[in-house]
Structure 1
Amino acid sequence: MKARRSPALSSVALALLTLALAPLSAHADKANAEGRALGHIKNFPGYSLDDNDQAYSLRDIVVDADGSEHVRFDRKYKGLRVIGGDMIVRSDRNGTLVEMRRTLTRAPKAELKPAIKQGQALQAAKAALGGDANGQSPELVIYARGDMPVLAWDVLVVGEDADGTPFEKHAIVSADTGNLLDNWNDIHTAAANGTGKSLYSGNVVLTTNSVTGGYELRDPSRGSTYTINMKNKSQGGTIFTDTDNIWGNNLTSDTASAAVDAQYGTALTWDYYKIVHGRNGIANDGKGAYNRVHYNRSYANAYWSDSCFCMTYGDGDGRSLRALVSIDVAGHEMTHGVTSRSANLTYSGESGGLNEATSDIFGTMVEFYANNANDAGDYLIGEKVMISKAFLRNMMKPSADGASADCWYSGLGSLDVHYSSGPANHWFYLLAEGTNSSLGASPTCVAGNTRVATGSGSLSGIGRDAAAKIWYRALTVKMTSSTNYAGARAAAISAANDLYGAGSTQSNAVAAAWSAVGVN
């Protein structure tokens, strides 16, 4: 069953003053940033939608070089978690409030008397999505991704899809009617100093760990990231070890070959985020995720799981897909972890499409960052792992895959999130490369409620590095869990203004590229 599409929500940017990023002179004190932000929430209830029934828990703090603080909170109402109630409080170097960003449209005022009991909610979730609760009780919450916050049950059901992918699905069941209001999956899929001999990237350098009798495929320099062999099973697995520190043989006949790709992709992604964006690991806490390769039999997919903080890769079915361990797939999957630790874009509706697009965007950027002649950077997703087709997704013209949308239109949120990602992927390509890049021409969208681009407008790109920095800032300090495409446009423009100045070439290009994919 498809999730019911939530009404469109636009990000609320309550600008109180204009702040340009300045050279460092007095770095903000993170230890006190939370208290300052909480003070602003209480002092400006018209902006925060605060009242005495609400409380806040810290999710993240980002401090700019000039001392500006961006403090992200999750919200509770009378002790209940508010889904879609998260908020970012921005203060300048002196602690003065600059803006609050939220997608919540009304303060929660729901009655806390559910007509539907826990057991009924569980049965409704299982009937709609399958799976089982696995011993976990439904949680009473406030669901605020729509126009009016309502009382609901968050029911977690776990199971396995037909292709063998495990699922951890949240069913949001109305506590008044028992209807399914929304659902999403915490398993985020992709559609689909030793020497490593990889499947896709040639021979590469790996940082490994010395152990008694040899080495293990663990990287102490990158948060102790490691790779385990699932041996075509869905449970268990053991870390790869080797006696001579030479891993794989460039062929599938050696199970370590795929492990090399996974470990190499993880190292590249770690380095990209740290060197380019200053992020120390996926959760920005210096801790590494881990890889599981050779998952199940003929499993033709890959996924990120937040619960294990790990990436899982199948060997493919041998007909349409090979082992899904290419550089861009690795970057894609790890970026789901970055998203979950920042904007936490809910994996349904338009926010789900933006979640997937974010992984495609940064998976592509990791591929360019790698500068590997065996897998050169491009705007195709998964081209190395495909057998029957040329790619999983195409950012230059997303509709080329036969399912994705090039342009925003009113029904976009009802698509599978891998396909509603299309307009954001298309936007990023136009922003970075323009309409007539040597990498490929990209059509623009014309007026009208159409999902396929047919226009011939002309845009100049600002370069992929600048585009990526804008989108990373939008993700980490502007967007909230329910941000939709209109909110993403506002967030990206605000991020460009912060980095390059209001009215700058970059900021104007961001707006023009969104308009070129139908987001105005």
Structure 2
Amino acid sequence: MLNKYSTATLLLLGGLTTSALAQDFSRVQAKTLNDDGTPYLVQFRADGNAYKLQEAGTLLREQLQLTADDQLLPAKSEADQLGFVHEKFQQYYKGIKVEHATYSVHARQGQVASISGQFEKIRGLNATPSLTAADALQRALSFVGASKYMWQDAREEAGLKQQENNPNATYLPQGELVVVRTERTSNPLLAGKPVLAWKFNIYAQAPVSRAYVYVNAHTGDVVAQDKIIKHAAATATFATAYSGTRSIANSTATGGYNLREATRGLGIETYNCKKGNSYTAAVDFIDADNNWTAAEYNNANFDNAAGDAHFGAQATYDYWKLVHNRNSYDNAGAKIKSYVHFDDVPGGAGYENAYWNGSVMTYGDGASTFKPLTSLDVCAHEIGHAICEKTANLTYQNESGAMNEGFSDIWGACVEARAASTFGLTGKSTFLIGEEIMKAGGALRSMSNPNQYGQPDTYKGTNWRATTTSPTQANDYGGVHTNSGVLNFWFYLLSQGGSGTNDIGSAYSVTGVGIDAAAKIAYRTESVYLTASSTYANARAGAISAATDLYGAGSAQVTAVTNAWYAVGVGAAAGGGTTPPPTTVTYCASKGTSVAYEWIDYVKLGTIARTSAADAGYYNGTATSTSIAAGSSQTISFSAGFASTAYTENWKIYIDYNQNGLFTDAGELVVSGSSASTGTLTGTFTVPATAKNGATRLRVIMSDNSATTSCNSYSYGETEDYTVTITGGAAIAGVTTGGGSSMGLTQGATARGLELYPNPATDVVRISMPDNAPLVSVTLTDLRGAKVTGVQVEGDQLNVSALAKGIYTLTATDGQKVFHQRFIKQ
């Protein structure tokens, strides 16, 4: 791409000769110049002769002495709280963008108060490149010198296309012709001089870097570099309490490294309150070698919780930026500060709470009920309150307060789900809130079954807490932590679907749209349509409007939103009355019980293109679909992810062509085979002409057991379900034929997982190793990841009589493989 705008378009503020540019000094009050003599700031007199905002073009021509080759194009307009309007202009030279050269006009009540910015005085520059973009890119790549780039990784490319929802999205740099100051040169006479250059956004994977690289379009020299990944001063390895060992960004400090970083917005910082209640007295956590190990931080003070707070803030920032394009909680890059080891009574027994205080995150260490309150969903929940404050600002009482809490739970679930998928985290349940911080097991709240923890799943139904005109802490401000269950269940049904009869006798059926679409609808509802005093009825209207904005009137998403509100007792079903009974068939369950060694990490068919980490044995991707035509030949791509060793995996891919809820009809096994490859595999099949039109289930199964069928709970591996929409086929179900596969390798061996029984247990747990393998050694950890000492194993029996009640993870090895299984001590 040479340049975005034509010269004719850009003559908006140009086109006058030098002789016509006499400056009107009578209006100038003060002027500050740059070193090159161009104006940096010009302030104007506030009198009857002042410039008006609509005269911005004339003003800039006069004050900057524009020539026929200079153009300024309006780029952005903003108003601030003081009543100023700021109009920003981008400089162009002969229709080519001038990098880093913008100029702003600042006006109040329509009268210009000042102008400021950077303007490049360019004269006689040859604007026709001698070097092609392709040649310039090779010069840029030689300068970067990476061993691998992001566009060379097929999965990263596929992930970008999915993230951008654009099949043409790519990391491959596209050259843009610009004018830029020379910053890299061995000739001091050329330093700071503007040159014509090719600009490339180069993202290197190994070693990691990302920067704009500028190549002189005449000489091929790299003349400037502008880093996109900044402040990468340090990367720590931290053994957290709840999320395993994670890489986190931080920085150097006196004595080593602290928990501060500047790579996200204005930064993320985590501090130690030292069991006190003063933020100003808080200090940095310092580690000498930046390897924050469990031996150092899994201690009596729960210092490993600091790693969870820091990782949680980073993961939450990343979720909002990458999913909703929101730059921190205020959408302006606000610094996220977290304070752990907070105690409202300094040196007390432990603080059983976590909260957002309007400016920082605060986490207690817990006492009798909770462990340190820094689990990932709690971190995301608290930052969610900051999001609410900066958007709807829902008043913290009665129904608005319940929705304030509910939206925070929604964001806790969404952040946790994305991080679990991205990093392969275990021990996390998307629709349970606080499951990792409870000392006695369980959770704080369940979004899928609010009644389980004393919340209502229906508006004014069972467990609903009466709202009040006198909200106080004693009445939970009108049930804000109780009545949030209604919004939670609405979001669960919207994303996952479900059917039943609610507390007020309404039969409902909701077809889920997936957590990503549900999150977009929820965010737009909160940020655009809700105000401080909104009620659940307002939220229903807002959510329907949000879904309409995003997906169109009458869309499946609008129907799902409406029916989900009906399901929780707010408003009518789509079309009025009750929702119709389910018309889709019910499919059998298929799930791997362990993803410790292998999982599905890539599936692509048509517009379905998903790269993922482990999904706990099953992923419901039915909200993601692609169209395939009856009679057409299709190629599906897929690959396995391995924790270490690449094992032989058995692949079976099914399509329910006649939509009867079974995958056992002739021709519905469309791909079958095995491979130990870590690369991308492909299978080809032909869609039968008799396939039924409409949406149907695509099931992808990867198992180490060749006997695994379409309806199995199996040991190692994973199942992923998607939707294919068949066109040009039969109007009714028919017997299908055909559907071959290009795979035909050897089959793997049967295996089963580690089994513990009884579970729950009170005194003794029996350990049954996979395939009667020998039991070589056993270790036991609690929910914090802390190793339990003094465990006694005799033969295949573990004595648990002395353990405190709770949930534990038993790790057993046969000397070659390591197996993990949880059990409950009652």
- TM-score scaled by structure 2? 0.38
| Alignment match, 2:401 | 352
| Alignment match, 2:354 | 302
Give 5+ residue unaligned stretches, structure 2.
Answer: 1-72, 85-234, 469-477, 572-826
Q: 2:303 aligns with which of 256, 264, 267?
A: 256
Q: 2:483 aligns with which of 420, 435, 459?
A: 420
1:47-62 matches, cutoff 5 A = none
| Alignment match, 2:591 | none
Aligned partner of residue 509 in structure 2, secondary structure: coil
Aligned partner of residue 221 in structure 1, secondary structure: coil
Instruction: Please say if residues 428 and 436 of structure 2, whose CA atoms lie closer than 8 Å, have aligned partners that are also in contact.
Output: no
Instruction: Please say if residues 350 and 412 of structure 1, whose CA atoms lie closer than 8 Å, have aligned partners that are also in contact.
Output: no
Aligned partner of residue 271 in structure 2, secondary structure: strand
| Alignment match, 2:536 | 485
Instruction: Please say if residues 248 and 260 of structure 1, whose CA atoms lie closer than 8 Å, have aligned partners that are also in contact.
Output: no
Alpha carbons of structure 1 residues 444 and 467: separation in structure 2 relative to 1, 3 Å: farther
Which stretch of structure 1 is more off in the superposition, 280-289 or 335-344?
280-289
Measure the CA separation in 1 of the matches of 2:503 and 2:311. 41
1:120-519 matches, cutoff 5 A = 193-222=235-264, 223-235=266-278, 236-249=281-294, 251-253=298-300, 255-296=302-343, 297=348, 298-306=350-358, 309-317=359-367, 319-371=368-420, 372-402=424-454, 404-409=455-460, 412-414=466-468, 415-435=478-498, 443-447=500-504, 457-519=508-570
Structure 1 position 239, deviation (Å): 1.7
Aligned partner of residue 518 in structure 2, secondary structure: helix
Alpha carbons of structure 1 residues 292 and 398: separation in structure 2 relative to 1, 3 Å: same
Structure 1 position 446, deviation (Å): 4.2
Structure 1 position 287, deviation (Å): 2.0
Measure the CA separation in 2 of the matches of 1:400 and 1:28. 56
Measure the CA separation in 1 of the matches of 2:83 and 2:427. 43
Structure 1 position 457, deviation (Å): 3.4
| Alignment match, 1:188 | none
Measure the CA separation in 1 of the matches of 2:341 and 2:74. 46
Structure 1 position 253, deviation (Å): 3.1
Aligned partner of residue 205 in structure 1, secondary structure: strand
Aligned partner of residue 230 in structure 1, secondary structure: strand
Structure 1 position 456, deviation (Å): 6.0
Alpha carbons of structure 1 residues 310 and 460: separation in structure 2 relative to 1, 3 Å: same
Measure the CA separation in 1 of the matches of 2:401 and 2:74. 33
Aligned partner of residue 208 in structure 1, secondary structure: strand
Measure the CA separation in 2 of the matches of 1:514 and 1:29. 41
Instruction: Please say if residues 474 and 495 of structure 1, whose CA atoms lie closer than 8 Å, have aligned partners that are also in contact.
Output: yes
Measure the CA separation in 1 of the matches of 2:485 and 2:83. 33
> In the alignment, residue 310 of structure 1 is paired with which amino acid?
V
Aligned partner of residue 413 in structure 1, secondary structure: coil
Structure 1 position 474, deviation (Å): 0.9
Measure the CA separation in 2 of the matches of 1:56 and 1:468. 34
> In the alignment, residue 353 of structure 2 is paired with which amino acid?
N
Instruction: Please say if residues 507 and 567 of structure 2, whose CA atoms lie closer than 8 Å, have aligned partners that are also in contact.
Output: no
> In the alignment, residue 477 of structure 1 is paired with which amino acid?
V
Instruction: Please say if residues 349 and 413 of structure 1, whose CA atoms lie closer than 8 Å, have aligned partners that are also in contact.
Output: yes
Measure the CA separation in 1 of the matches of 2:403 and 2:419. 24
> In the alignment, residue 507 of structure 1 is paired with which amino acid?
V
Measure the CA separation in 2 of the matches of 1:279 and 1:507. 24
Structure 1 position 374, deviation (Å): 2.6
Measure the CA separation in 1 of the matches of 2:308 and 2:458. 34
| Alignment match, 2:772 | none
Measure the CA separation in 1 of the matches of 2:459 and 2:407. 16
Could you list the per-position Cα deviations for residues 66-91 of structure 1 after superposition, in whole angstroms to 9, with x for gaps in the alignment? xxxxxxxxxxxxxxxxxxxxxxxxxx
Instruction: Please say if residues 209 and 216 of structure 1, whose CA atoms lie closer than 8 Å, have aligned partners that are also in contact.
Output: yes
Structure 1 position 256, deviation (Å): 3.1
Could you list the per-position Cα deviations for residues 1-47 of structure 1 after superposition, in whole angstroms to 9, with x for gaps in the alignment? xxxxxxxxxxxxxxxxxxxxxxxxxx997626x69xxxxxxxxxxxx
| Alignment match, 1:86 | none
> In the alignment, residue 384 of structure 2 is paired with which amino acid?
T
Structure 1 position 398, deviation (Å): 1.0
Alpha carbons of structure 1 residues 57 and 350: separation in structure 2 relative to 1, 3 Å: farther
Measure the CA separation in 1 of the matches of 2:313 and 2:530. 25
Could you list the per-position Cα deviations for residues 52-78 of structure 1 after superposition, in whole angstroms to 9, with x for gaps in the alignment? xxx9999xxxxxxxxxxxxxxxxxxxx
Structure 1 position 412, deviation (Å): 4.8
> In the alignment, residue 491 of structure 2 is paired with which amino acid?
F
Structure 1 position 247, deviation (Å): 2.0
1 or 2, which has the higher strand percentage? 2
Structure 1 position 368, deviation (Å): 0.3
> In the alignment, residue 244 of structure 1 is paired with which amino acid?
D
Give 5+ residue unaligned stretches, structure 1.
Answer: 1-26, 36-54, 59-192, 437-442, 449-454
> In the alignment, residue 431 of structure 1 is paired with which amino acid?
L
Structure 1 position 413, deviation (Å): 3.1
- TM-score scaled by structure 1? 0.59
Could you list the per-position Cα deviations for residues 167-217 of structure 1 after superposition, in whole angstroms to 9, with x for gaps in the alignment? xxxxxxxxxxxxxxxxxxxxxxxxxx1001111111000101122432111
| Number of residue-to-residue matches in the alignment | 324
Aligned partner of residue 330 in structure 2, secondary structure: coil
Structure 1 position 399, deviation (Å): 1.7
Structure 1 position 254, deviation (Å): 5.7
Instruction: Please say if residues 198 and 204 of structure 1, whose CA atoms lie closer than 8 Å, have aligned partners that are also in contact.
Output: yes
Instruction: Please say if residues 508 and 566 of structure 2, whose CA atoms lie closer than 8 Å, have aligned partners that are also in contact.
Output: no
Instruction: Please say if residues 353 and 419 of structure 1, whose CA atoms lie closer than 8 Å, have aligned partners that are also in contact.
Output: yes
Measure the CA separation in 1 of the matches of 2:413 and 2:504. 29
Aligned partner of residue 284 in structure 1, secondary structure: coil
> In the alignment, residue 290 of structure 2 is paired with which amino acid?
N
Aligned partner of residue 316 in structure 1, secondary structure: coil
Instruction: Specify which structure has the bigger relative contact order, considering alpha-carbon pairs within 8 angstroms and separated by 6 or more residues.
Output: 1
Measure the CA separation in 2 of the matches of 1:240 and 1:283. 26
Structure 1 position 447, deviation (Å): 2.9
Could you list the per-position Cα deviations for residues 251-281 of structure 1 after superposition, in whole angstroms to 9, with x for gaps in the alignment? 2436430100000000000000000000001
Instruction: Please say if residues 428 and 435 of structure 2, whose CA atoms lie closer than 8 Å, have aligned partners that are also in contact.
Output: no
The percent identity for this pair of structures is 42
Instruction: Please say if residues 199 and 252 of structure 1, whose CA atoms lie closer than 8 Å, have aligned partners that are also in contact.
Output: no
